[in-house]
Amino acid sequence: GNSVTQMEGPVTLSEEAFLTINCTYTATGYPSLFWYVQYPGEGLQLLLKATKADDKGSNKGFEATYRKETTSFHLEKGSVQVSDSAVYFCALNSGNTPLVFGKGTRLSVIA
């Protein structure tokens, strides 16, 4: 079945540091890949997505590239801010299967 594995947290970074959160997946067919973010006290919200191989999703300075050869969708940001502190979830779906989430990675950015 479909599954997502993402790096364990928590991740603590200083402001303006470079961020990478690794995500790899197992899926049948041709999945769509997503990153969702959960800010403190708020609901999950879509951060970015990619629907086919080599697509790059981007939003708010975050990027992730759909790599079919390595079955990966790593999240990156060149310079993090305190306001980026949140829990980040990698997710996928394929065909008519429901969205499957990874366990989440908590990011704390300190000034």
Partner 1 sequence: EAGVAQSPRYKIIEKRQSVAFWCNPISGHATLYWYQQILGQGPKLLIQFQNNGVVDDSQLPKDRFSAERLKGVDSTLKIQPAKLEDSAVYLCASSQNTGNNEKLFFGSGTQLSVL
Site stretch for partner 1 (CB under 8 A), options 16-24, 64-72, 78-86, 101-109:
101-109
Q: Should residue 98 be labelled a site residue for partner 1 when binding is judged by CB under 8 A? A: yes
Q: Contact with partner 1 (CB under 8 A): which of 32, 35, 62, 84?
A: 32
Q: Contact with partner 1 (CB under 8 A): which of 43, 69, 70, 111?
A: 43
DSSP H/E element including 56: strand 56-59
**Nearest by Cα to 84 from 28, 40, 34, 41:** 40
Q: Should residue 101 be labelled a site residue for partner 1 when binding is judged by CB under 8 A? A: yes
β-pair partners for 86: 107
Q: Closer to partner 1 by CB, 67 or 106: give it.
A: 106
Q: How many H-runs (helices) and E-runs (strands) does the chain carry?
A: 0, 12
Q: Should residue 4 be labelled a site residue for partner 1 when binding is judged by CB under 8 A? A: yes
Quote the tokens at residue 60.
Answer: 């708010």
Q: Should residue 7 be labelled a site residue for partner 1 when binding is judged by CB under 8 A? A: no
Instruction: Name the residue with tokens 């995500």.
Output: 23
